[in-house]
Structure 1
Amino acid sequence: MTEIRLAPAAAPVPEAESPRLPRAFHRLWLAGSVSSLGDGVYLVALPLLAATLTRDPMELALVTSAALAPWFFLGLLGGALVDRWDRRRTMWLTDLLRAGLLAVPALAAACHLLSIPLLVAVAFLLGTGQIFFDSAGSAYLPELLGRDLRLLEQANSRQMGSRTVAADFAGPPAGAALFGLARALPFGLDALSFLASSLLIRTLPAQPVAPERPSGSLWADARAGVSFLLRDKVLLGLALRPAIGNLAFAGTETVLVLFSRQALHLGSFGYGLLLTAQAVGGLLGAVLAGRLRALLGTGGALTATALLEGLSLAALGLAAGPAPVVQAAVALALLGAAMAATMVLAPTVSQALIPTALAGRVAAARRLLSLGAAPVGALLGGWLATAAGLRAPFVAGSVLLAATALLALTLTSNRRIEAALAGRAQ
C-alpha cells in the first residue's frame, strides 16, 4: 500500500507557504470545467427535448431519473472495477465513449427519429459512465496531489467553484438558447465537451500506483469498500452528511417551484433568479471554504455549515413579511454557501484518509449512500406538502440539517479528524 503523506497536524503550513498545485491539476481542472458546462447544457435540454415527445408525467420522470438508476444496480461493482483498472485511462476512455453516445440523440433529433425509450437508454448509459468516471476521478486526484491535505483543499475549492459557474450559471441558459435554435445543438455541444475532457485527461501523468490485483469476486471487493467505510467513524460521518443533506434538499426541491409561485408569487423568470441566488452563494462558499477551515478547523467548520444550512432552510420556508422574496433569496444564498463549503471540506478529508487501493470502492459506496437518500426525500417532501402545506418540507428539512451539527460534533470533530489524519500519516 502506498504511504500516505500528510503535513503534520500539529504544525500546519502557513497560508503564505501553501504548496502550489501542479500543472497537471490545471489540465484536470480545465477538463472538469468544460465537462460541467456540457452537463449544465444537457440537464436543461434533456427535459425540454422529452417534453416535445410526451406529456405523460411518468414518461418524463423516467427520462430525468434514468441517469441515477445505474448507481443502484452497478455503483458498488463499478467502484470495485475502478480499483482494478488504471484510473486515468478509465476517465479518458469513459468520456470518449460518452461523447460518442451523445451523438446518438443529436443525430436522432436531426433525423426526426427520437423516442422516449431512446432518451431513457441514452440517459441510463450516460449514468453508467458517470459511475466509472466519478469513482476513478475521486481516486486519481489524491494520487496526483500526493494526498497533501492543503493541496486537496485548494483543488476541491477550485473544482467546486468552476462547477458552479459552468453548470449553474453558464450551462442552463446556454442549453435553453441552443435548444431554441435546434433540438440537436445542446447534445452536440455536450458531446464536444466530453471529447475535450477526454483529450485533456489523456495528457495527464500516468497513474503512479499500480491497480490492485483481483483478490476475489467483484462482490467481495465491493463489500470490502463498504466495510471499510462503515468501520471508520470519521469517514462514516463525512458520508452521512451529504446523505442526510440530500434527504432534506430533495424534499424541498420537489415543492420549491410551487412554493415560489404560491407563497412568494413569483413567475418563471423570478423563479430562475431565485435559483441564481443559490448559485451565487455556492460560488462564495467554495472560495471561502479554506478560510473557514483555518478559522474553525475542519470539524468546527462542518458543524457551523450544518447549523447555517438548517437556519437558512427554515428562513426560506418561513419567508413572510414585507419582503418575503428578499428573505428567500438571502436564505438560498446562505444555504448555497454552506453547502458548497461542506462539499469542499468533507471530500478533502475523505480523499486524504481513504487508502489508494480502496479509493474507488469507498467513493462509490459514499456516492450510493448519498444518492439513495434523494428519492426518499423527494417522496417525503411531496407527502409533507400535501398533508401539512408547502412550508412543511422546509421546516422538517431544517430540523434534519440542524441535526447534522450533532453528527459533526460526535463523528467529525476537530479532535477526531486530526487523530485520523495523524494515524494515516504514520
Structure 2
Amino acid sequence: MTGMVRVFRRSAAAPKMPPAFARLWTAATVSALGDGAYAAALPLFAVALSKDPVVISLVSVAMVLPHLVVGLVAGALVDRWDRRRTMWVADLWQAALLALAVVAGAVGALGIPELLVLAFLLGVGELFFDVASQAYLPDLLGRDQTLLRRANGRLRGASTAAGQFAGPPVGSFLFALARTVPFLADAVSFVASALLIRTLPSTPVPERVEGRSVWADAREGFRYVVRDRLLLGLALRPAVGNLAFGAVGAVLVLFAQDTLGLSAVGYGFLLAADAVGGLLGAMVVAGPLEKLLGTGTALTLTAVVEGASILVFGLADNPWLAGAMFALCGCGMATTMVLGWSLRQAIVPGRLMGRVAAASRLVSLSAGPLGALLGGWLASAAGLRTPYFAAAAVLLTMTVVTMSMTSNAKVKAALASAVDG
C-alpha cells in the first residue's frame, strides 16, 4: 500500500482491533504513569528553587520549545525512518536523560538552568515519539476511521487515567519523599515502554523523492497543512487553546498553593480532577457527541465549554469548585483531541503523515510558549487570577473565528475526497 492510498473499511459488523494494539496501549499507559509523576514533580521542584512566576513559566516554555525549533524537521525524518524504531529509541533517550537528572540531583547540581535544559531535551524525545506514534497508528489500523477513533479514545483515556489521574498524586507523594524520585520512576516507565514497543510489527518506510533534502520534505508537509482549510482549522483550534492553557498552566502551581490553599498533595489531586474529565471526554463523550452533532459542531461546543470552565476556575476560591471546573475543562479538551486526531489520520496520505502531524503540532503549540510567558507576566503584574480571565476571553473570542474552518460540511467533503482518493 503506497502512502497515497487510503483504505476505509465500513461494514455492518464493528471492526476489531489487531492484537498488536494491546501492546501499544500498554506501553502508552506505563509511560503515561511515569510522565504524570514527572509532570507534577517538575513544577514543584522549580517552585522549591524559585518563587518568581516568570522563572516558573520558563520551565513550561522549555518543554514545548522543541516543537518550534525542530518540529518540522522531526516530521520529515519520521517520514524517512522506521516509525516503530523511532518510538522506542525516543523512549530510551528520555529514560537516559531522567537518569542523569537523578544523579545530578543527588550531588546537588540540579538548579533552574539544569531543569530548563532537562525540560527541553525531554521535549525533543517527546516530539519524535508523538509524531512517530501518530504516523504509525493509521498504518497499524489500516486507516479504518472507526478503529482510529476508538484507538485514539483508548490511548487518550489511558494517558489521562495513568498520566493525569494516577500519576500526579504519585508524583507529589514521591516528591515529598525526595525531589528526584519521580524522575527515577519516569525513567523506569520509559524503559518498560521501549521494550513493549520493540515487540510491535514494523510498517513499511514511506516512499519519498530521492535526492530531496530533509528541509524540502519538511516544507512540503507544512504547505499541505496551511493550504488545506480544514487541516489548518484543526491545528488552529488547539493553537488558541494552547495560548490560553499555556498562560493557565504556567502559574497553576502558584495559584493552587497561594489562592486555593492547596498543599503539594492537594495540587496533585487538582491535576487529577482534570484527568477525570479527560477520561470521560475520551472514553465516553467523544463518540456520542460526534454522532449527535457532527465533528465540526462538536469541536465548537467543546471550545465554548473550555472557555467557560476556565473563567469560573479563575473566579473560584473553593478548591472543590475549582476542581469541578478543571474536570469540565479536561472533558472538553480530551474530546477535542480524540475527534481532531482521528479525522486528521483518516484524511492525510500515509507518506505525509509524519510531516503533517509535526506541522499541525507546530501550529497548535506555537502559541504555548507565548501563553506561558504571558501568564507569568500577567500574574506578576496584576495577580494570579488575571491569566485565567485572559485565557477564557481568548478561548471564547477565537471560537467564533475558527468555527467555520472545521464545519460539518467541510469535514464531510474531506472524508468523501479521502475515500475517492
TM-score relative to the length of structure 1: 0.87
Report the equivalent of 2:119: 123
- 5 Å-filtered alignment, 1:2-401, equals 2=3, 3-7=5-9, 17-49=13-45, 54-55=49-50, 57=52, 65-110=61-106, 114=110, 118-257=114-253, 259=255, 271-288=267-284, 289-319=286-316, 324-385=318-379, 390-401=384-395
CA displacement at 1:25 relative to structure 2: 1.0
Which shows bigger deviation, 309-318 or 30-39? Answer: 309-318
Which shows bigger deviation, 21-30 or 201-210? Answer: 201-210
Q: Deviations over 1:31-78 (max 9, x none)?
A: 1111111111222334455566x4485776655543333222211111
CA displacement at 1:313 relative to structure 2: 2.2
Q: Deviations over 1:250-275 (max 9, x none)?
A: 22334445555666565656554443
RMSD between aligned residues: 2.8
Alpha-carbon distance in 2 for matches of 1:314, 1:182? 35
CA displacement at 1:231 relative to structure 2: 0.7
Alpha-carbon distance in 2 for matches of 1:283, 1:108? 35
CA displacement at 1:299 relative to structure 2: 1.3
Which shows bigger deviation, 285-294 or 272-281? Answer: 272-281
CA displacement at 1:326 relative to structure 2: 4.4
Which shows bigger deviation, 18-27 or 207-216? Answer: 207-216
Structure 2 letter corresponding to 1:419: A
Equivalent residues, number: 416
Alpha-carbon distance in 2 for matches of 1:19, 1:375? 40
CA pair 417-169 structure 1, distance change in 2 beyond 3 A: same
CA displacement at 1:94 relative to structure 2: 1.9
Alpha-carbon distance in 2 for matches of 1:109, 1:340? 34
Give secondary structure in 2 for the equivalent of 1:68. Answer: helix
CA pair 62-241 structure 1, distance change in 2 beyond 3 A: closer
Q: Deviations over 1:208-247 (max 9, x none)?
A: 3545354522221111111000011111110001000111
Alpha-carbon distance in 2 for matches of 1:186, 1:262? 24
Structure 2 letter corresponding to 1:44: A
CA displacement at 1:348 relative to structure 2: 0.7
TM-score relative to the length of structure 2: 0.88
Alpha-carbon distance in 2 for matches of 1:317, 1:67? 24
* Gap regions ≥5 residues in structure 2: none
* Gap regions ≥5 residues in structure 1: none
- Please tell me whether the aligned partners of residues 65 and 369 of structure 2 are also in contact (alpha carbons under 8 angstroms): no
Which shows bigger deviation, 337-346 or 408-417? Answer: 408-417
Which shows bigger deviation, 109-118 or 226-235? Answer: 109-118
Identity %: 53
CA displacement at 1:306 relative to structure 2: 1.6
